[in-house]
């Protein structure tokens, strides 16, 4: 019987890759464990997951992918809301999941723990019914985790404030969020997505712990608020393990040409243009963005997703002009006030490298050790090599969120 850690990611590259990297990290510190990653088939485009899984299987044969039996087409949800689908798919797979776990246990595996994506919340009862200690993995920030865990506590406040665009909502350890900028599911408190997040928050508090893809130095206030129980005053306080930032190392054989271009650019000279993974724009807004970026005179690289720092002025229809975009890019890249944003980010970059073992001991070594003791997985620090010239080439990031250009952001230069 093999001691096994079972990982259950949500479909899609943005959730699969961090979970796979977590599995690799576990094996780095304790190669005697077996890692099984459960894969479900989604009724939407999940990106190049199949080719990615094949590459990982060849490069890291100790990471095993187990495809759960595909559910019949008539069982799939009819919802076209991505968040609702993300929660619904694991629920539909629960019966197949339970059967597969029983088969694994009876044949060759001795599960020491399971780690599930927050969108796989419906599987929590399946794992715990089989007496498998279950952790959650939050692939995003501690700030978003604080907001999620606070939903049961903040529910009444959200109900009272979401109709007033001039108010803000405060989650423990997080700066006030204007109600129009709340995540879309939070604005429909009777919707499936909101109730799914609500249920996830309750189960997270009852779980063996939460792993989050951040480090303490990035978000100390949010991490402390969660750990002190401020988010869950009427629920158990979950153990939180900051194990990030987890970033996939580059595959030299499959590296995109844009990364090679990035490596050839001068230090701190490139602006990242980011739409967010679900961002959609009208042609008029795209044209305006292109004009503003070209007039700024800075190199630009398009990526998919990060967070926000400097707000852009928008019209009532959330349209951002080329002049406003040009002004903000120049401010961020060329001005003294922009340096006030860039300098703290350089410090955060160094914190990220330290947490990943580039500059020495993991800044979150204690957290990783605590998680390790619970499941007997790894040592006292996280260490993943980081290198390459693109860390110097990439300077600051421009963020475009949702259906309109929203904010400007500086990168953490992790790679």
Determine the pLDDT at residue 406: 30
Give all domains of the chain, ordered by start, each with its CATH number: 2-242 (3.40.50.2000), 257-413 (3.40.50)
DSSP result, 337-361? HHHHHHHHHHHHHHHHHHHTTSSSS
The angle subtended at Cα 56 by Cα 23 and Cα 359, nearest 5°, is: 55
Determine the pLDDT at residue 132: 95
Would you name the residues annotated as active-site residues?
A: 15, 117
Determine the pLDDT at residue 150: 96
Rounded to the nearest 10°, the torsion over CA 126, 89, 45, 134 is -30
Q: What is the pLDDT of residues 336-392, one digit of tens each?
A: 777 777 777 778 778 877 877 643 334 344 444 444 444 443 322 222 222 334 444
Determine the pLDDT at residue 9: 95
Determine the pLDDT at residue 384: 25
What is the separation of C-alpha 45 from the centre of its chain, rounded to a whole number of angstroms? 18
Determine the pLDDT at residue 51: 82
- All residue ranges of the chain with pLDDT < 70 are 45-47, 72-80, 249-255, 272-280, 300-311, 357-415
Cα gap 2→186, rounded to integer Å: 42
Q: pTM value?
A: 0.77
Determine the pLDDT at residue 247: 74
* Burial of 263: CB neighbours in 10 Å, binned 0-12, 13-18, 19+: middle
Determine the pLDDT at residue 413: 32
């Amino acid at each position: 019987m093999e001691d096994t850690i079972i990982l259950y990611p949500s479909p899609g590259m943005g959730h699969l890759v961090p979970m796979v990297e977590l599995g690799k990290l576990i094996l780095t510190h304790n190669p005697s464990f077996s890692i099984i990653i459960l894969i479900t088939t989604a009724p939407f485009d999940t990106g190049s997951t199949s080719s990615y899984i094949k590459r990982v299987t060849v490069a890291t044969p100790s990471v095993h992918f187990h495809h759960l039996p595909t559910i019949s087409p008539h069982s799939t949800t009819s919802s076209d809301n991505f968040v609702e689908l993300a929660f619904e798919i694991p629920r539909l797979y629960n019966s197949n999941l339970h059967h597969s776990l029983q088969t694994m246990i009876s044949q060759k595996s001795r599960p020491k723990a399971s780690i599930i994506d927050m969108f796989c919340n419906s599987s929590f009862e399946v794992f715990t019914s089989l007496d498998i200690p279950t952790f959650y993995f939050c692939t995003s920030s501690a700030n978003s985790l604080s907001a999620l865990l606070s939903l049961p506590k903040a529910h009444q406040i959200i109900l009272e404030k979401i109709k007033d665009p001039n108010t803000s909502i405060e989650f423990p350890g997080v700066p006030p969020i204007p109600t129009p900028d709340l995540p879309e599911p939070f604005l429909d408190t009777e919707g499936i997505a909101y109730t799914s997040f609500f249920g996830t928050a309750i189960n997270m508090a009852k779980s063996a712990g939460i792993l989050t893809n951040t480090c303490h130095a990035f978000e100390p206030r949010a991490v402390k608020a969660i750990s002190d129980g401020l988010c869950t005053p009427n629920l158990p306080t979950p153990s939180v393990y900051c194990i990030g930032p987890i970033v996939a190392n580059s595959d030299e054989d499959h590296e995109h040409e844009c990364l090679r271009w990035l490596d050839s650019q001068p230090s701190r000279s490139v602006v990242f243009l980011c739409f967010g993974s679900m961002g959609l724009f009208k042609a008029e807004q795209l044209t305006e963005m292109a004009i503003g970026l070209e007039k700024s005179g800075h190199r630009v690289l398009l990526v998919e997703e990060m967070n926000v720092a400097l707000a852009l002025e928008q019209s009532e229809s959330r349209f951002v002009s080329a002049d406003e975009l040009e002004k903000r890019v120049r401010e961020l890249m060329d001005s003294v006030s922009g340096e006030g944003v860039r300098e703290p980010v350089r410090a955060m970059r160094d914190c990220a490298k330290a947490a990943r073992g580039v500059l020495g001991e993991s800044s979150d070594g204690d957290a990783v050790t605590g998680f390790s003791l619970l499941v007997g997985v790894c040592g006292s620090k996280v260490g993943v090599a980081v290198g390459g010239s693109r860390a110097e080439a990439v300077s600051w990031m421009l963020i475009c969120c949702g259906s309109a250009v929203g904010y400007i952001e500086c990168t953490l230069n992790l790679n």
